[in-house]
Amino acid sequence: MKKLILFGATGNLGRHIAKELISKGYQLTVVVRDQKKAKGLFDINARLVVADVCKKVTLVDICQHQEIVISALGKSVSPNDKSRPGFEDVDYSGNMNILEEAIKNGVKKFVYVSAFHAEKYLHLTYFNVHHRFSEELKKSGIDYSIIKPPAIFSAFIDMMDLAQKGQLVTIGKGDKRTNPIFEGDLAKICVGSIAEKNKTIEAGGSSIYTRKELNLIIQQEVDKSKKVRQLPLGLFKAALPLIKVFNKNLYDKFAFFTEVMQHDTIAPQMGEFRFEAYIKSKHRGL
């Protein structure tokens, strides 16, 4: 039975990875930031360790006796996330702290969930930190797998609340296409990649949608009586400098949203579960 330590287990993707690992018979350790977070993993049969990846002292020898590390760690892009650490703190420095411990303790495999086309948008903090850490991982000497989804389904959950309030908006024309992937499908890819050698895997969902279509799917499921409004891209861009002055974290998120709305982000179609079915299941509590 292989020993594996998972970071980011309390996130939507991390929980699916944990369940997939247990189903495959791994001896699993999951890392949580505090005991409050640990309560969300009541149904996960794993050893729990409390540590804050942003505080190196809490990570000393955390990878001791572990053969494999999976990091699904990342700061949420949701505007509702009010946590203080930014993308630089969590996605780069936090993962670097983990990597240093993995190297020191002789970990054989490191699986990291990055971002699709991160290398193309290095002027944006969100993509920059994912790319920089991926490059450090490649140089580390540890066998790696880097998984790069365009987006995961749960990133759209906030939009369901907006749709309920009649506040859901499409930024710009909404004609750019993407194929987000279900966390359960991505979890299988992450776990399957453990057997791969120094592999980068770009992974999207089975279906391709425009940004406008994704919003319409959400609105139609949540409340057909309300309409999706349209916000000019120029207006959104004009607000960014002001947002940056008052809230750097929020600026980084909105800058990310603005950029992806202007490009097709279509990864190889590997997932199976469809976005429509996911939204329906979340809305109806299935």
Instruction: Tell me the DSSP string of 204-221.
Output: B-SS-EEHHHHHHHHHHH
**What is the pLDDT, as a whole number, of residue 36?**
76
Q: For residues 104 and 230, give the distance between their C-alpha atoms in angstroms, rounded to a whole number.
A: 51
Residue 65 C-beta-side C-alpha neighbours within 13 Å: 4
Q: What are phi and psi of 209, to 5 degrees?
A: -130, 155
Domain layout of the chain by residue ranges:
3-154+181-202
Q: What is the pLDDT of residue 285?
A: 81
Six-digit token pair at 170?
A: 């499409």
Q: Which residues of the chain fall short of a pLDDT of 70?
A: 1, 286
CA distance 281 to 286: 5
pTM assigned to the model: 0.95
What local confidence, expressed as pLDDT, does residue 253 receive? 94
Reference 20, options 171, 214, 186; nearest CA is 186
Q: Which CATH superfamily is domain 3-154+181-202 in?
A: NAD(P)-binding Rossmann-like Domain (3.40.50.720)
- Inter-axis angle of helices 233-246 and 248-260, to 10 degrees? 160
Residue listed under structure tokens 């990649």: 193
pLDDT at residue 80, rounded to an integer = 86
pLDDT attached to residue 1: 64
Structure tokens at 175: 């004609």
Q: What is the mean pLDDT of the chain?
A: 95
Q: Give me the pLDDT at residue 38, please.
A: 72
H/E stretch holding 137 reads helix 125-139
For residue 286, the model assigns a pLDDT of 55
Cα(84)–Cα(92) distance, integer angstroms: 15
Buried b (16+ CB within 10 A) or exposed e, 25-63: ebbbbbbbbeeebbeebeebebeeeebbbeebeebeebb
